[in-house]
A and B are shown apart, each in its own frame.
Chain A
Amino acid sequence: MISFIPYASFRFFCLIAVLLLPVIILGLMGKRNLLYNDCVAILMTFLIFAAQPAQLISFLIFIIWEAVLIRGYLALRARKNTGLYFYIAIVLSVLPLFLVKLSADVTSLSVLGFLGISYVSFKSIQMIIDIRDGLLKEVPLSQFFRFITFFPTISSGPIDRYRRFKSDMDQIPSALTYRTLLYHGLNKIFLGFLYKYIIGYLIHKYWMGSPLLDSNTFSSILLYMYGYSMYLFFDFAGYSHFAIGVSSLMGIQTPENFNKPFLSRNIKDFWNRWHMSLSFWFRDFIYMRFVYTAVKNKWLKNRYLISDIGITVNFLVMGFWHGFMLHYIIYGIYHAIAFILFDKFERWNKTHHLWAKDNPWVHGLSIVITFHVVCFSFLIFSGRLNFLW
């Protein structure tokens, strides 16, 4: 069967151009046909997984599993709001993702996996947390499935939030608003072509593919580091442009993923600009939850220490999420350390004023330093240094 991996082939773009034509025409008239959109969603789900029927089955089982969990937890929560139910629900909803990530070490588990399992897991976990917090009182199954199987973002995000998604679904854009959305969407898709298929491709083929980078010398590893970091950005930012652009055409304003990350002036700033939908998800649902719980239960007196532990947990989980491999975990720890050190420096600088913030030269230097700290982390991430350990 022909594969329709999102945004990976010319074929895919032709297919969605045809399928979305009615959506665009209706949109320009200020209308939306839910039935048609649902049919497209179902068709796309099948086509995306068509090349691997095993993945399709895993995916269908997965969404039913998550639907049962969310509806079940919602019912239990309505009766009694205890932490126990919440934690059980969270563990059960993370379980499939955990097993699949574990398959990096235990390969037999990989049969459970399917393209985009992380991103759909993040979406369901966040719904359970919203239910716990009383922010979600009802989840109609149709809405849940529309949210989870939203095909433009199914394979690699950006990770939307249910309540935000639902408000876009409830609000049919006027003809005028849709015209802006259409422009915005098409523009994003063209930017995506530039990023992923021109810049990213050229970097991958001629920079990273250069035989000069094969040896394990300092200079070739350094060149690889820059090349890989650029490739990572242009490839993923290009992909995100596609996902956001196609969402736009469907009248959904999927959140941004990148905001000039290589112009960040410190590591904290970087994580507000790089893979934003993921880092915000981790910030809100891991770091903040941890700090909140630790403070509320008075686990520790020192709030800085609590924050540092929160950051460590946050980046360790992120490392493990990339895969149960040593270099991903080192990548997580590296970012945790960078983040904590920067935090300490920033506090120290408040009283000592060593690092002037408004000076353009200092600003420039900060960007260069941050860029290198980040690029080095990507070098670890790439596995290029695996020969060291």
Chain B
Amino acid sequence: MTGAPLPEPAASPTATDAGVPSTARPPRPRWRQTLGLLARNPTAAVAATVLLLIVLMAVFDESLAPSGPNEIAVEDRLQPPSPAHPFGTDDLGRDILSRVVLGAAVSLRVGFLAVAFALVVGALIGLLAGYYGRWVDDVLMRFMDVLFAFPAVLLAIAVLAVRGPGAGNTALAIGIVYIPVFARVTRASVLGVREEVYVRASRSVGASDFRLLTRHVLPNAAPPIIVQTSISLAFAVLAEAALSFLGLGTQPPNPSWGLMLAEGRGFIDLAWWLAFFPGMAIFLTVLCFNLLGDGLRDVLDPRQRTLMAGSGR
């Protein structure tokens, strides 16, 4: 069956002209297109750039920070911002700029770990529930409902109370809290994609369930999940701050933005910079994740995508 082209239909000139565009431009992969469209959305582009800088700051924290995070200099305590200490110093004379830089690594690591965990587990649950339906759906989603019914902070505190405080356990606790969100978003998206003709068409040539799920259902159900990931990252950073604020997350003397905020609270009328700079770091990160999420949502919506791509060329 291979080879041996049928001459007749191939010879029809109308088909040749109307079909494949004759430009030699190689097709761009979809992710490149997505990036290109994202770059054309100024808000999202700025947000992505700032986030990249924050991530780079977290990665190269040791070499960027002017001094060690836990270097105590009692004689310099509670210094206002100055050329020597741009963000000022705290009650133990530690440089706040250094602690904000080093805290980025802690806060972001917990955030990414938590969301990665929630994404993998939640998306898997949502995928199975949405695709198989019936009792699989009932069992998994009722379990998600139970998890969802707990107030988020209470659930996280319960997990930390059982497993003890610490960065890893904080990430786990936040991750567990966000699993139902990802499960629901994924399931809803999968329910729509599952009925698409191309899924049925692929089944009609004998594709296995695994293949259908990984190649056809998941990639087409992905856009809302990606947006949810970006927004959840913002919430996870906030949640880490909240838990550290409560004393359950990062433990002193290690810096995390939330913990610094908590520690600065006692000095808020005396030395505003203790709470202000870590607060700003949280604010900026969360804002950028949210803006990026909004941008991604626009870019990944197929209908809007066509509009934007059409106007761009």
Partners in one complex: no
